[in-house]
Amino acid sequence: MFKTTSGQEYRREMWQLFQNIITLTDSYKVCHWKVYPPHMTHLCSYFEAREGGEYKEIVFFGLQYILKKYLAGKVVTKKWIDDAEKEWTEHFNDPTVFNRKGWEHILKKHKGRLPIEIKAVPEGTVVPEGNVLFTVESTDPACAWITNYIEPLLVQVWHPSDTATISREMGKIIWEALVRSGTATPENFAFKLHGFSFRAATSVESAAIGCAGHLVIFKGTDTYPAIELIRRCYHLRMAANSINALEHSVVNAWMKKKELEAYRYALDQFPDGLFAAVSDSYDIRYAVEHIWGGVLRDRVLARNGVLVIRPDSGDMKTLIPELLEIIGKKFGFYVNEKGYKVINDKVRLIWGDGINRHNIAGIIDAILESGWSLDCVNFGCGNGLIECTRDMQRMALKACFAIVDGEPRDVFKDPVTDPTKKSKRGQLMLIQEEENGKLVFKTVQKNSVNCEGKDFLVPVFRDGELLVDQKLADIRARAAVC
């Protein structure tokens, strides 16, 4: 139990949480060194999104953060070995469960650096389901057991990969609608889906890494921890932007009878630039028609910037087109070359509540079917960006190859009760072949006669050293929707 005498000491102790790599694993893995085949000198495992997930393609992202945060450099010390031995002995009530000799070997021979090699597809690559995304294998014959000991940390790449995948799939819907109804430019697209996920996350770290996946595709967020993570891990100082905006507490603090004064005062504070005003605290139709489109109309038109009205309550499919009609009537609109109505450039809408990958297509269809261009509407997304599980794309890490008594051995599972969980076997590669004018990824064995071609699994980590330091700009280019 922590014993603290001051806030400063408490924070210092809290910083020590989750730093010991020896205890950052599933409990049962601690005993596996005892039950692997005797004289096993090598073990290789692979990570994939098995077939049958929600989407047929996966955006691979987030491994570099895990490597930098948890695995790079010296991660084993005598103190951490001593601490881990005490913890695991008490946890299992078994003084023989802990592999002290193995960890001391890593400390002495490898100076506390993990003897593993990881090969991975470049982050941001869009890979069809059922293909290997990275492999991890031991580099020291005495430490074959280390490969799957770190599985729980490595598998956490599922979350940023899922959020990047979700954002890309939603982005494809948005881009198609922009092409159909309005100005389909990368600049316009980049801010069409704004990230509101901090409060929806289960921790600061999950907010940061999950929402960083969103920023692989888009460039707008209010989840600032994702920006800081990208700055430190992916070499981009400012990965996204936000704008001045009201929340309900601001408007409500003025009280209903002074709603007009609240908006008027906000315009005084933000005379220029983009400014978003949540306007559904009381009566969104009244606020749009009689306040923004009535009393404050001339001020809105005179601003050197854009007012973004935010209605967050009601039936999106009916209310958004209804509000666009009111705004168009009050502020003017034109018909673009695609035949869709576009509001005067001084006003736009953003809907920031309840948007997700399951309903966004229907909402956009309703907007376009009512004759309005998607140029007029942006979306904010909170839960919908990070609300997923590892099962969404059926992601898993499984052993595929071992050397026992000097003999190579294909390792796999093939459960008769669920053929979809049959795993790959052998020394795997990811080969890109051209078929029917498209690039198709295939997994093959290194010694197979069918393995000709470039291996897209690139060594990114070996023996404690990061071998490839990827930049978000390159990752974005690989995952680009437009």
286 is a domain residue:
no
285 is a domain residue:
no
**Which pLDDT score is estimated for 372?**
98
**Angle formed by the axes of helices 100-110 and 78-92, nearest 10°:** 170
**Which pLDDT score is estimated for 434?**
72
The structure tokens listed for 369 are: 């079917």
Range in 355-364, 369-378, 424-433, 454-463 the model is least confident about: 424-433
For residue 125, with 0-12 CB atoms within 10 Å meaning exposed, 13-18 middle and 19 or more buried, which class applies?
Answer: buried
430 is a domain residue:
yes
pLDDT, one tens digit per residue, over 210-237 is 999 999 999 999 999 999 999 999 999 9
d(CA 433, CA 339): 41
Asked if residue 461 lies in contact with residue 117, where contact means CB atoms within 8 angstroms, the answer is yes
pLDDT-derived band at 2 (thresholds 50, 70, 90) equals: very low
Percent of the chain with pLDDT over 70: 95
Instruction: Give residue for tokens 């005495």.
Output: 142
103 is a domain residue:
yes
**Which pLDDT score is estimated for 27?**
97
How many residues are there in the chain?
A: 482
407 is a domain residue:
yes
The structure tokens listed for 388 are: 């997923």
d(CA 230, CA 213): 10
244-245 and 132-138 beta bridge pairing: unpaired
363 is a domain residue:
no
pLDDT, one tens digit per residue, over 386-444 is 999 999 999 999 999 999 999 999 999 999 999 999 999 999 999 887 776 667 788 88
Mean per-residue pLDDT, 12-29: 87
Mean per-residue pLDDT, 446-462: 81
pLDDT, one tens digit per residue, over 108-139 is 999 999 999 999 999 999 999 999 999 999 99
The residue that leads in pLDDT, 183 or 34, is 34
Mean pLDDT score of the chain, rounded to an integer? Answer: 94
Instruction: Give residue for tokens 């000991």.
Output: 149
**Which pLDDT score is estimated for 11?**
64
187 is a domain residue:
no
pLDDT at 1 over 70: no
**Which pLDDT score is estimated for 418?**
94
pLDDT, one tens digit per residue, over 29-81 is 999 999 999 999 999 999 999 999 999 999 999 999 999 999 999 999 999 99
- What CATH number has the domain bearing residue 434? 3.20.140.10
Mean per-residue pLDDT, 466-480: 98
350 is a domain residue:
no
Number of domains, the chain: 1
Instruction: Tell me which residue range forms the domain holding 93.
Output: 19-156+394-479
**Which pLDDT score is estimated for 447?**
67
The structure tokens listed for 354 are: 């309840």
**Which pLDDT score is estimated for 182?**
87
Q: Is the entire prediction scored with pTM above 0.75?
A: yes
